[in-house]
Amino acid sequence: MSYGETEAVRGIDLEVMPGEVFAFLGPNGAGKTTTVEILEGYRHRSGGEVSVLGEDPQRAGREWRERIGIVLQSGRLDPYLSVRESLGLYAGYFPAPRPIEEVIELVGLEGKADERARKLSGGQQRRLDVGMALIGDPDLLFLDEPTTGFDPSARRQFWDVIAGLRDLGKTVFLTTHYMEEAQRLADRVTIIAAGEIVARGTPEDLGDREHQAATIHYRAGGREVKLETTTLVKTLHELTGEALERGEDLEGLEVTRPTLEDVYLELTADSGAAE
């Protein structure tokens, strides 16, 4: 996809399986929104092949669109309609909508059903956005940075909503800046930087984290000790065995491995702030 002279994404190749939560990560300007908009049929690509639910989004018709739910970065709520009214209005656009009360429950807005959208908190508005995307009972949902600006507890509550979508068998295409979000929710993760895919895998095996050196920290005799090891069990066994023999404690003993965020920062470091 090019915007004039700017090649926003090039040669990217990805596949999303039915029923999975797929996380698409990348720094600002990496090309996430461009890619998602192409998949949603909002943006016409300059080249390449795309198939979503078996059709080319650029040519797909109404029936295809009814199978897709979209939560954009900025919401589209009518501030003066209540939660129930907003969902009711949307339900009217679809041939077989999900029951409104069920959607309210699914997004955790039971206590706010009669509240106007403008009186909801940011997190609650976002949930209503998701409810709107769900009302047509789509097979596939696009969530573009759904928890940006949330406080930690609102973010966790929202994760429950997304986990609920997975339980319903929906396919979720999620873009996010939050590694922990990808770690918690995604079956598979793909990282894009400066328009190209730089890594893909499950959150666990991305960047081969399982096989990278672990770091052991502890305090002994008043000093900090830090050891890197690729044979963690053996090293720990020796360390703790010797400490027990000496009758000493290994204060503050802790084992750490590179986090998904460490891997992400390393992989995207060279891309700069792709302005």
User: What's the one-letter identity of residue 147?
Assistant: T
Query: How many Cβ atoms from other residues are within 10 Å of residue 252's Cβ?
Result: 11
Q: Answer left, alpha or beta for residue 29, where phi above 0 means left and psi between -120 and 50 means alpha.
A: left
Nearer to ligand ATP, 177 or 184 (CB): 177
Residue for token digits 């000790």? Answer: 225
Instruction: Identify which of 207, 204, 217 has the alpha carbon closest to the alpha carbon of residue 254.
Output: 217
> DSSP state, 110?
G
Parallel/antiparallel/unpaired status of strands 196-201 and 188-193: antiparallel
Binding residue for ligand ATP, selected from 8, 71, 106, 165, defined by CB under 6 A: 8
Nearer to ligand ATP, 71 or 87 (CB): 71
Nearer to ligand ATP, 28 or 153 (CB): 28
Nearer to ligand ATP, 19 or 272 (CB): 272
Q: How far is the CB of 34 from ligand ATP (least distance, A)?
A: 3
Q: How far is the CB of 36 from ligand ATP (least distance, A)?
A: 8
Number of residues that bind ligand ATP (CB under 6 A): 12
Q: How far is the CB of 32 from ligand ATP (least distance, A)?
A: 3
Q: Which of residues 134-163 bind ligand ATP (CB under 6 A)?
A: none
197 contacts: CB under 8 Å, gap ≥ 6:
12, 13, 14, 190, 191
138 touches 68 (CB < 8 A):
yes
Q: How far is the CB of 1 from ligand ATP (least distance, A)?
A: 8
Task: Tell me which H or E stretch contains 55.
Answer: none
Q: How far is the CB of 190 from ligand ATP (least distance, A)?
A: 12
Binding residue for ligand ATP, selected from 21, 22, 23, 26, defined by CB under 6 A: 26
Nearer to ligand ATP, 6 or 46 (CB): 6
The token duo for 203 is: 């959150």
x/- site string to ligand ATP, residues 183 to 212, per CB under 6 A? ------------------------------
- 31 contributes a contact to ligand ATP by CB under 6 A: yes
Say how far apart CA 234 and CA 32 lie, in whole Å.
43
The token duo for 226 is: 């830090």
Binding residue for ligand ATP, selected from 21, 32, 98, 104, defined by CB under 6 A: 32
Binding residue for ligand ATP, selected from 34, 82, 147, 190, defined by CB under 6 A: 34
Q: Which stretch binds ligand ATP (CB under 6 A): 22-30, 105-113, 164-172, 234-242?
A: 22-30
Say how far apart CA 149 and CA 146 lie, in whole Å.
9
Q: Write the DSSP string, 198-244.
A: EEEE-TTTGGGGGGSPEEEEEEETTEEEEEEES-HHHHHHHHHHHHH
Binding residue for ligand ATP, selected from 16, 30, 77, 260, defined by CB under 6 A: 30
**Site residues (vs ligand ATP, CB under 6 A):** 3, 6, 8, 26, 28-34, 274
